[in-house]
Amino acid sequence: MGLLGIDIGGTSIKAGIVSREGRILAKSRIPTAREAGVAGVLEGIKKLVEDLRERAGPGGESPAVAGVGVPGSVEAEQGLVRLAPNLGWQNVALREQLQELLKLPVTVDNDAHMAALGEMWQGAGREYGDLLMITLGTGIGSALILGGAVHRGAFGYGAEMGHVKVLPDGPPCRCGGRGCLETLASATAMVRMAERELAAGCPSLLSGRRPLEARDIVEGAARGDEVSRKVLNTAARYLGTALANAALVAGPAVIIIGGGVAQAGDIVLEPVRRAFAEALGAWQVKAVPVVAAQLGNDAGFIGAAYAAQNLLGG
Amino acid sequence: MGLLGIDIGGTSIKAGIVSREGRILAKSRIPTAREAGVAGVLEGIKKLVEDLRERAGPGGESPAVAGVGVPGSVEAEQGLVRLAPNLGWQNVALREQLQELLKLPVTVDNDAHMAALGEMWQGAGREYGDLLMITLGTGIGSALILGGAVHRGAFGYGAEMGHVKVLPDGPPCRCGGRGCLETLASATAMVRMAERELAAGCPSLLSGRRPLEARDIVEGAARGDEVSRKVLNTAARYLGTALANAALVAGPAVIIIGGGVAQAGDIVLEPVRRAFAEALGAWQVKAVPVVAAQLGNDAGFIGAAYAAQNLLGG
């Protein structure tokens, strides 16, 4: 019996059929037809699932349940997408509509939660039931998993590490706050910081690179570029401190860093680990590993498939 | 069947016999004979328990189990006090020694954990299973309770909110870190801040008060003293921000502030609530009440009695 996992992103929808043992039986992706609204996304999912069923082939297992991750705040119990700015959605009863479309029981959750479940099941979190995952991208996604389940907290939407305040009176955030981690350590924040250095006339390998991307900064740092290193270390310092603060409150057994930037490995992770250890100081009586995510873009649909298992009887 | 609760503090040991319904049947306290080491404290506890049994009287229930709170890091499963600086203790097998002394099953935990369990059982946290409690004193004690139980986290000692970093490169802390919440919002930190203002020649009702105590600052603020207000608001701002950050990670349903300063009520709590709401901004989709503890000095032994219930069969 297969599990259908779907990861709706702002630019593409990824989906896969996953076995109950966590093996990917088939996977596929299509661009997100955002401009066509909810109907356009549903249409896309329909095609994607047909494609997947074909790819899984005659020997492939037909999925019995589906999980869906959405980039936004989700009322998981109601299957309701409260707000997904990157899709332009507000109050979409996604579970209901998808159950109708797919003729399957469906569970819906935030995409960062799904990715964390995926890493726990098949990736960097395999040995752990308590983990904190951070995804560095345009913004910062996060999920706290305790005892193998997403910890939703009083607000119901789980950890929002991107909006913890790490610098009093720091830069303004799109959420309306100031000094949010997202404004200081996301991929976007790194690019902004680098552009400021370049505009100030600092000599750098990055000069003239347009559009400048976070991966250029990582590459620059690897090649010894001073501006790149400064930007990476500054972002890492804020991130490491925020992670240490989270560890002093919620005590995850492992911290997983996802997103394109983190895939570069130690050049990004080492300064984060240093800042984390420094901020914890004497309080770090046991090692809490800070590691890179392992599943890349597959984490979201694998985790969604994992979440869908709860819909199976027995 | 009564429950014996004991709260070992740096200056006094408080104890009580509590019914399974949470009613205090008898309570007592004695000064902590710190200079006589562990033996001195055990001697004191013995007298205290004899006194309590007398007070509970012939109709009183004899305790069947005991819980003990200690100001320090405790390996609760082993009943081992790893480090209790205010008692001068290191690696004390307290459970073993107390079981020998009291002829009762004993459970040992950190005093802030016990106080939080007390408030959950009989105080400000009665309606909640998920709560964060902060105690403002010489340092800052804290406990995160999730699903009715102390959340210990990967390090094993639970929440250490006093040492989350809230000000990059802030004042040095006795833990070796910089900018820890404890250095900016504890009762001690408030006094230090006020003393700095006074030394700078700011006119204030507090001038000449020696030794200056946190309660003087609260009283000064109530009487409109500018220095007092400034100190209280500054500390509240750091505390409110740290609480908002914790709420964005661990999502407690209620936040309880304990310690002498918090007993003053709204004059202290209002600025904390304002800073908390400001730091959460749009993320506060549901109200998380920030309230004063209700049990005062009794919270510790009441919570210890509550924890002892786990030792009862059935």
> Looking at this predicted complex, what is its ipTM?
0.94
Band (pLDDT 50/70/90 cuts) for residue B174 is: confident
Q: Which of B288, B175, B190, B290 is nearest to B233 (CA)?
A: B190
Tokens at residue A59, please? Answer: 């020997």
Q: How far is A167 from chain B (nearest CA, A)?
A: 7
Contact A97, A148 (CB under 8 A): no
Query: In what helix (H) or strand (E) does residue B18 lie, and over which residues does it extend?
Result: strand B12-18
* Alpha carbon distance A136, A134 (integer Å): 6
> Percentage of residues in chain A with pLDDT exceeding 70?
98
Q: B245 and A245: CB-CB below 8 Å?
A: yes
The pLDDT tens digits for A104-158 are 999 999 999 999 999 999 999 999 999 999 999 989 999 999 999 999 999 888 9
- Mean pLDDT over residues A301-312, rounded? 96
Q: CA Rg, chain B, in Å? A: 20
Tell me the C-alpha to C-alpha distance, in Å, between residue A222 and each of A216, A217, A219, A237.
10, 9, 5, 18
In chain B, what residues touch A161 (CB-CB under 8 Å)? 248-249
Q: Which of A93, A115, A114 is nearest to A42 (CA)?
A: A93
According to the model, what pLDDT value does residue B59 have?
62
Q: In chain A, how long is the greatest CA-to-CA distance?
A: 64
Identify the residue with better confidence: A284 or B106: B106
The pLDDT tens digits for A207-216 are 999 899 999 9
In chain B, what residues touch A146 (CB-CB under 8 Å)? 146, 151
Q: Which residues contact B83 (CB under 8 A, 6 or more apart)?
A: B72, B73, B89, B90, B91
Could you tell me the pTM of the whole model? Answer: 0.94
Contact B261, B214 (CB under 8 A): yes
Tokens at residue A147, please? Answer: 């005892």
Type of residue numbered B10:
G
Q: Which of A152-161, A229-238, B218-227 is predicted least confidently?
A: A152-161
Beta bridge partner(s), residue A2: A63
* Alpha carbon distance B178, B168 (integer Å): 7
Beta bridge partner(s), residue B4: B17, B66
Query: In what helix (H) or strand (E) does residue B15 lie, and over which residues does it extend?
Result: strand B12-18
Say if residue B303's pLDDT is above 70. Answer: yes
Q: Which of A263, A224, A262, A227 is nearest to A243 (CA)?
A: A262
Say if residue B207's pLDDT is above 60. Answer: yes
Beta bridge partner(s), residue B29: B14
Tokens at residue A202, please? Answer: 């600092």
* Burial of residue B195, with CB atoms counted within 10 A of its CB: 0-12 exposed, 13-18 middle, 19 or more buried: middle
Q: How far is B171 from chain A (nearest CA, A)?
A: 13
Sorted by where each starts, the structural domains of chain B and their CATH numbers stand as: 2-119+297-311 (3.30.420.40), 125-294 (3.30.420.40)
The pLDDT tens digits for B61-116 are 789 999 999 999 999 999 999 989 889 999 999 999 999 999 999 999 999 999 99
In chain A, what residues touch B164 (CB-CB under 8 Å)? 244-245, 248-249
Type of residue numbered A26:
A
Q: B248 and A159: CB-CB below 8 Å?
A: yes
Q: Which of A302, A267, A291 is nearest to A127 (CA)?
A: A291
Q: Collapsing DSSP states into helix, strand and coil, what is residue B91?
A: strand
Band (pLDDT 50/70/90 cuts) for residue B58 is: low
- How is residue B29 annotated by DSSP? E
Say if residue B56's pLDDT is above 80. Answer: no
Tokens at residue A192, please? Answer: 């902004």
Q: How far is A176 from chain B (nearest CA, A)?
A: 7
* Alpha carbon distance B150, B303 (integer Å): 11
Residue A19: how many other CB atoms lie within 10 Å? 14
Q: Are strands A24-31 and A12-18 parallel, antiparallel or unpaired?
A: antiparallel
According to the model, what pLDDT value does residue A174 have?
87
* Alpha carbon distance A254, A238 (integer Å): 18
In chain B, what residues touch A250 (CB-CB under 8 Å)? 144, 151, 153, 159, 249-250
Q: Write out the residues of chain B at the interface with chain A, using a CB-CB cutoff of 8 A.
A: 130, 132, 144, 146, 151-161, 163-168, 175-177, 241-242, 244-253, 279, 281-286, 288
Contact A146, A132 (CB under 8 A): no
Q: What is the 3-state secondary structure (H, E, C) of chain A?
A: CEEEEEEECCCEEEEEEECCCCCEEEEEEEECCHHHHHHHHHHHHHHHHHHHHHHHCCCCCCEEEEEEEECCEEECCCCEEEEECCCCEEEECHHHHHHHHHCCCEEEEEHHHHHHHHHHHHCCCCCCCCEEEEEECCCEEEEEEECCEECCCCCCCCCCHHHCECCCCCCECCCCCECECHHHHCHHHHHHHHHHHHHCCCCCCCCCCCCCCHHHHHHHHHCCCHHHHHHHHHHHHHHHHHHHHHHHHHCCCEEEEECHHHHHCHHHHHHHHHHHHHHHHHHCCCCCCEEECCCHHHHHHHHHHHHHHHHCCC
Tell me the C-alpha to C-alpha distance, in Å, between residue A165 and each of A190, B241, B280, B309.
17, 7, 9, 39
Say if residue A90's pLDDT is above 70. Answer: yes
Say if residue A47's pLDDT is above 80. Answer: yes
- How is residue B89 annotated by DSSP? E
Q: What DSSP string describes B147-189?
A: TTEE--TTTSS---GGGSB-STT--B-TTS-BSBTHHHHSHHH
The single residue listed with the structure tokens 């250490």 is B160
In chain A, what residues touch B130 (CB-CB under 8 Å)? 153-154
